[in-house]
Chain A
Amino acid sequence: MICPRCDSDAAELLVKAPVENAWEVYLCDACNFTWRSTESEEITDPARYDRRFKIDPLSIPDLPVIPPIPKLVK
């Protein structure tokens, strides 16, 4: 399944609604985006997801690291 935010083909079903079979939640393995099937198309449709918030999967390793990982101390 295509992730609406990063367009990777890495999204899978995470969970179904605990009751009423009301919705499903999907999780993108590439960018950790989660969304619910009942959200608006501006969230669920890769073509309509706001470009300002799109993520390029190739840029993820270069994001700032918070907090920094310290050196190992014996």
Chain B
Amino acid sequence: MGIFIGDDTRLVVQGITGRDGSFHARQMMEYGTRVVAGVTPGKGGRTFDDAVPVFDTVEEAVAEAGANASVVYVPARFAVDAVFEAADAGIALIVCITEGVPVGDMLRVLPYVREKGARLIGPNCPGLIVPGRCKVGILPGQIVREGPVGIVSRSGTLTYEVIFQLTRAGIGQSACVGIGGDPLIGTDFVDCLAAFEADPETEAVAVIGEIGGTDEQVAAEYVSREMSKPVVGFVAGQTAPPGRRMGHAGAIISGSEGTAEEKIRAFERHGIGVARRPADLVGLIRDRCRQPVADARVRADGGEPLP
């Protein structure tokens, strides 16, 4: 099952002829994602890798290739226009990988996406993956395994770290979603938690938060109010100084708001098991899952497992 993407996902890659777009289009196709179209304005009529038709507009990609999901790899100054275009063309799921999108652009596009009935994931995110079925974005496919744990995170490589540690411990994932590190994002923790709650294959959820904003606190309340499945969490930035932006545009402690401590307290108050280290998530999840998948010999580079 997974969430948001699956066997019926027909993906258009916006920016497919660019450096990142072409590299990751191939990676996604290799993983088994159905990439049905690419879009690069001015390059319509070409064929990408002898397999994927390239169009000038998303509208054509929908009409002629039946695209129903899009992934955006275009540079920051054009990214929000690409999201507008995808939403206008009737794309239901838009995943924006691009980092560095101005927050004023996000203010404009979020209500538009909502009015069109589309879901936006990101920007500044690694995308999402349903192990064994479909990947949209840049998450490394070789570190995931099918299993019962849903993962939702504001980070990129920290998400990979958590996935890798779980997989090495024999715990697979139902879906992994990176929602992005910016202050304004399309899909938040609560949206993902609701989807995991509804997904029959998900038995437990790990929430990977970080400093800045109050999304973790809102998520914690949602968990205690609406969720029957166990949720565990980790919050990065316990040693971050206030007032400084820690890489991610959204990772900043303002006043007393947005500290890791405050978020950890909210998790604990609402019954979310909190890991002090990423490695502690393994034990917390193992205690809460019924049937972990056994495959403890995976390697993060996808090489032959060690005996």
Q: Are A and B co-members of a single complex?
A: no
Q: Which residues of B contact A (CB under 8 A)?
A: none
